[in-house]
Amino acid sequence: MVKFERFILENGLRVLVHEDDTTPMAVLNILYDVGARDENPEQTGFAHLFEHLMFGGSINIPSYDEPLQRVGGENNAFTSNDMTNYYLTLPTSNLETAFWLESDRMLSLAFSEKSLEVQKNVVCEEFKQRYLNQPYGDVWLKLRPLVYQKHPYRWATIGKELSHIENAKIEDVKAFFKKHYNPQNAIMVVGGAVKLDQVKALAEKWFGPIPSGEKYVRNLPQEPVQNQEITEIVKADVPLNAIYKAFKMPGRMEAGYPAIDLISDILSQGKSSRLYQNLVQQNPVFSDIKAYNYGSLDTGMFVVEGRLSPEVKPEEADELIWKELESLKSEPVLPEELIKVKNKYESVKQFEEMSLLDKAMNLAYYELLGEANLVNTEINNYLKVSVADIQHYANALFSREKSTTLFYLAN
């Protein structure tokens, strides 16, 4: 159980407070409701590049990292297709420094040309390190545009291509800040050995004076229902053939999400899972295979990916994946199988509560989904899932005409 209190400043900033006196540390987490899905198709990768620029100095504070490190703190951030999340931890006694730093960069950045130039290079190197200079690194750059025709999920967080990052201008940076980085589009969580009244006072002092800005109204093109199978083959210098298979699925808060999430666990969580038992252990078709979903807020992706054993033909391996999916459609799962994945879900939740930072991030994330208390109650939606639900959603999900398959083959 993660306890919390919530208040909202006049400028629209939502603040959640989680008191946990078992730690001498405090966490300040700010989630901005902007991700790669909000980018202009001609300027992809921008939300992530912008995340880097948030560390390049703000209007009144030339360096973000240095003062934080001086008070014993650490920070980081990540960008996804849906959101951008910044977090820092520091000794509770120095909590005010966190408010000082975070409020100044919500007020305004320094918009330094030097910082933009350098971070463009850094992000281009990140692009190379993680997506281009790795075996299979570019698979999502290739697969996303096959799965999505209309929705901006068709590009990856890092962007479509290096040139989009290289071409970023300081005016674009300013406009992006104005549009997305203001109190109305943010959720702040403060956790640790803190008190509600103390957080209220600090929030009023440092964030209260920030103008509320304009509320960004999201209006994204929604993805049409797919009714034709898509298959593509790419060849690259990789040691093993691989298959990536994607199905569009309900968004994070839509009906069916918990059941489908549990389907991925039945297929691939742990060595007792179906894909491992049937396609790695008993019949060694794959050296590695897994199923997962992206947990996207809009229409998401259910993915099965596997690396093939030598001598196995890709099309045969593909049919064996289908066989596993078909069996979920035609046969009810065993009751023990469903209990098993629910137990695991429950246990993972407990282990997550060991970490203050995880708790703070989860509160912000669930608040974005609509209500922070989902962190405590969402489990009920999982426990309710029945054997019939699993079969129902497997049928809704897994059909040839709704599938997209990428064969990533060795040269």
Partner 1 sequence: MLDRTIEPAFQQITDIHFIEAKKHLLSNQIPVFEVNAGEQDLVRIEFIFQNVAWEKSKPLLPSVCNSMLTEGTHSLSAAQIASKIDFYGAFFQTEYSFDQSSLTLFSLNKHVAHTLPIIKEMLTASIFPEKELNTFLRNQQQKLKVGLEKNSVLARRSFNRALFGDSLYGYPYELKDYDEVKRADLLAYYQEMYHPKNCTIIVSGKIQEETIAHLEQLFGSWSTEVTLKEFNINIQPDEQKWHDIEKPQALQSAIRLGISTVNRTHPDFMGLQVLNTVLGGYFGSRLMANIREDKGYTYGIGSANVTLQHAGFFFIASEVGADVCGATLTEIEKEIAILKTELIPNEELALVRNYLMGSLLGSLENAFSHADKFKNLYFYGLGYDYYDQYIQTIQNINAEELRALANKYWNFEDFYKVIVGKM
Q: Residue 361, exposed/middle/buried by CB under 10 A (0-12, 13-18, 19+)?
A: buried
**Cα–Cα nearest to 105, from 133, 122, 84, 123:** 84
Minimum CB distance to partner 1, residue 341 (Å): 8
Tokens representing residue 97 in the block: 């420094």
72 vs 221, which CB is nearer to partner 1?
72
300-308 and 186-192 beta bridge pairing: unpaired
91 vs 145, which CB is nearer to partner 1?
91
37 vs 105, which CB is nearer to partner 1?
105
The reply to whether 10 belongs to the active site is: no
198 vs 287, which CB is nearer to partner 1?
287
Minimum CB distance to partner 1, residue 248 (Å): 28
24 vs 41, which CB is nearer to partner 1?
24
Residue of 39, 51, 102, 378 marked catalytic: 51
Minimum CB distance to partner 1, residue 284 (Å): 6
Percentage helix, strand, coil for the chain under 3-state DSSP, each rounded to 5: 45, 20, 35
**Cα–Cα nearest to 106, from 208, 217, 216, 218:** 208
| Cα gap 28→30, rounded to integer Å | 7
| Cα gap 93→97, rounded to integer Å | 9
Minimum CB distance to partner 1, residue 169 (Å): 17
Neighbours of 405 (CB within 10 A): 21
Minimum CB distance to partner 1, residue 172 (Å): 18
| Cα gap 209→71, rounded to integer Å | 25
Minimum CB distance to partner 1, residue 348 (Å): 8
| Cα gap 263→260, rounded to integer Å | 5
129 vs 167, which CB is nearer to partner 1?
129
List, as one string, the DSSP characters of 85-143. EEEEEEEGGGHHHHHHHHHHHHH-B---HHHHHHHHHHHHHHHIIIIISSTTTTHHHHH
| Cα gap 205→372, rounded to integer Å | 24
Which positions are annotated as active-site residues?
51
